[in-house]
């Protein structure tokens, strides 16, 4: 049985991150930019082996022919309870459709995976934990704070058939040596999923031996549906400069790597385009590290950060969220040691004090450093 964890929104410590796989399982998702929510009539096409010609199908009728991969093109929309493995041995994802990937950023490409999963059944995002420990990788801050993931997934509800995609994790050490067939067999026989969704460049299995074509073939053998979606491409011209400067291996698809690179240069408009939402930074006060308040400003040590901040500099048109209804316009200044939040409201210290704040939530506008 897999070592499995479900993600809940009841978190205090939000240290959560993924890296590129390197060896073992490697998932590389690429996607087309989505359209508006009204564009739900997807076009499905297939790529074939040399002896099969390309075919088109209406939505919801992917081909079952050998060698054909159903591809969902960019006519898609832009669009937890905690459950463990049940006592009777039934998986929490039994009967569901799992999107396979490395969902660090929860960007617009990841959202497309969730959309397709929701069209085929109860949607789940399936990812691995414990990879950094297995490979000895250095820690790096997550793009999305662990405690903020539920909010983002809930925002996808209008695009996912009024369902909230849930997260499901597998201990990487339990699957790292599985062949492609063994991995699909686990999904079918142990997790009992109804289907899987992946990007067209997806690879899986030990040493990334399996590709999307093999995934479709193996899923058919085990009685599961397999949906392969086409790449969501990054159409921002600035992305070319980012990738040429960093030596990235990206080839134009929306990715978590691009989000990190955009944050590294402080282009918050570009970050918003990739994420499909404004980037939210979350800081948590601890017994050792406290927020400090003055009449117009609150400051927090960078050690309070729960996710990745943009580069040092001044950011205008930001919002400070104090609960669901209290939103204050602000400027954010990030230096080498602190995150400073400045407001134009002279009574800020009184407002902060009455809330006895443990968390600060900052959303960045489209300004750049």
pLDDT digits 0-9 by tens, 263-321:
999 999 999 999 999 999 999 999 889 999 887 899 999 999 999 999 999 999 999 98
Band (pLDDT 50/70/90 cuts) for residue 94 is: very high
| Residue 369 forms part of a structural domain | no
Average pLDDT, the chain: 76
Residues 6+ apart with CB under 8 A from 264: 310, 311
Predicted local confidence at residue 56, as pLDDT? 26
- 45/153 Cα distance (integer angstroms): 28
Predicted local confidence at residue 135, as pLDDT? 79
In sequence order, the β-bridge partners of residue 196 are 98, 226
In sequence order, the β-bridge partners of residue 298 are 293, 341
Whether 27 has a pLDDT exceeding 70, the answer reads: no
Residue scoring higher pLDDT (217 or 173): 217
| Residue 56 forms part of a structural domain | yes
Same domain, 148 and 101: yes
| For range 88-101, the mean pLDDT | 86
* Sign of CA pseudo-dihedral 92, 95, 101, 107: negative
| Residue 266 forms part of a structural domain | yes
Burial 117-135 (b: 16+ CB within 10 A, else e): bbbbbbbbbbbbbbbeeee
**% of the chain with per-residue pLDDT over 90:** 53
Out of 229, 261, 291, a domain closes at 229
Same domain, 130 and 258: no
Lowest mean pLDDT among 14-23, 85-94, 264-273, 356-365: 14-23
Same domain, 242 and 219: no
Same domain, 286 and 352: yes
| Residue 368 forms part of a structural domain | no
Residue 301 lies in domain: 280-363
Could you tell me the CATH number of the domain that includes residue 171? 3.40.50.620
Same domain, 328 and 214: no
Predicted local confidence at residue 26, as pLDDT? 35
| Residue 109 forms part of a structural domain | yes
| Residue 296 forms part of a structural domain | yes
Same domain, 300 and 328: yes
Per residue in 45-89, pLDDT (tens digit) is 323 222 332 222 223 333 333 344 444 333 233 333 333 344 345
Rg (CA), the chain: 21
Out of 275, 304, 330, a domain closes at 275
Total domains in the chain come to: 3
Same domain, 246 and 303: no
Whether 242 has a pLDDT exceeding 60, the answer reads: no
**% of the chain with per-residue pLDDT over 70:** 67
Same domain, 271 and 221: no
Same domain, 114 and 47: yes
Same domain, 58 and 163: yes
Q: Which of 48, 121, 47, 39 is nearest to 79 (CA)?
A: 39
Residue scoring higher pLDDT (173 or 307): 307
Lowest mean pLDDT among 24-33, 89-98, 191-200, 322-331: 24-33
Predicted local confidence at residue 351, as pLDDT? 62
Do 165 and 114 form a contact (C-beta atoms < 8 A)?
yes
Predicted local confidence at residue 186, as pLDDT? 96
Lowest mean pLDDT among 44-58, 97-111, 196-210, 249-263: 44-58
Burial 21-35 (b: 16+ CB within 10 A, else e): beebbbbbbbbbbbe
Out of 167, 198, 229, a domain closes at 229
Whether 326 has a pLDDT exceeding 60, the answer reads: yes
Same domain, 246 and 289: no
Whether 20 has a pLDDT exceeding 80, the answer reads: no
Predicted local confidence at residue 324, as pLDDT? 65
Band (pLDDT 50/70/90 cuts) for residue 251 is: low
Q: Report the DSSP pairing between strands 69-72 and 225-229.
A: parallel
Do 75 and 36 form a contact (C-beta atoms < 8 A)?
no
Whether 184 has a pLDDT exceeding 60, the answer reads: yes
Q: Which of 80, 168, 188, 189 is nearest to 124 (CA)?
A: 168
Same domain, 298 and 324: yes
């Amino acid at each position: 049985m897999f070592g499995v964890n479900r993600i809940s929104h009841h978190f205090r410590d939000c240290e959560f991150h993924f890296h590129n796989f390197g060896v073992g399982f490697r998932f590389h998702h690429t996607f087309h930019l989505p359209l508006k929510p009204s564009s739900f009539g997807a076009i499905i096409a297939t790529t074939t082996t040399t002896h099969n010609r390309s075919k088109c199908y209406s939505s919801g009728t992917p081909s079952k022919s050998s060698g054909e991969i159903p591809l969902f093109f960019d006519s898609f929309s832009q669009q937890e309870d905690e459950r463990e493995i049940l006592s009777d041995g039934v998986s929490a994802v039994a009967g569901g459709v799992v999107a396979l990937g490395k969902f660090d950023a929860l960007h617009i490409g990841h959202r497309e995976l969730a959309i397709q999963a929701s069209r085929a059944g109860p949607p789940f995002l399936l990812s691995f934990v414990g990879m950094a420990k297995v490979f000895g990788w250095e820690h790096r801050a997550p793009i999305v704070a662990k405690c903020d993931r539920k909010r983002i997934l809930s925002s996808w509800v209008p695009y996912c058939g009024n369902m909230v995609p849930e997260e499901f994790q597998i201990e990487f050490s339990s699957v790292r040596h599985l062949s492609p067939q063994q991995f699909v067999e686990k999904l079918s026989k142990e997790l009992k999923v109804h289907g899987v969704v992946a990007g067209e460049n997806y690879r899986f299995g030990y040493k990334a031996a399996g590709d999307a074509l093999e995934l479709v073939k193996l899923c058919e053998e085990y009685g599961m549906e397999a949906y392969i979606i086409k790449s969501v491409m990054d159409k921002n011209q600035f992305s070319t400069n980012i990738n040429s400067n960093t030596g990235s291996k990206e080839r134009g698809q929306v990715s978590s790597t691009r989000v990190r690179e955009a944050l590294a240069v402080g282009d918050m408009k570009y970050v918003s385009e990739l994420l499909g939402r404004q980037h939210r930074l979350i800081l948590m006060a601890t017994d050792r590290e406290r927020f400090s308040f003055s009449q117009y400003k609150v400051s927090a040590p960078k050690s309070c950060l729960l996710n990745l901040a943009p580069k040092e500099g001044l950011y205008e048109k930001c919002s400070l969220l104090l609960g669901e209804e209290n939103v204050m316009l602000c400027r954010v200044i990030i230096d080498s040691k602190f995150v400073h939040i400045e407001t134009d409201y002279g009574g800020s210290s009184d407002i902060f004090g009455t809330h006895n704040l443990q968390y600060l939530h900052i959303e960045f506008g489209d300004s750049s450093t």
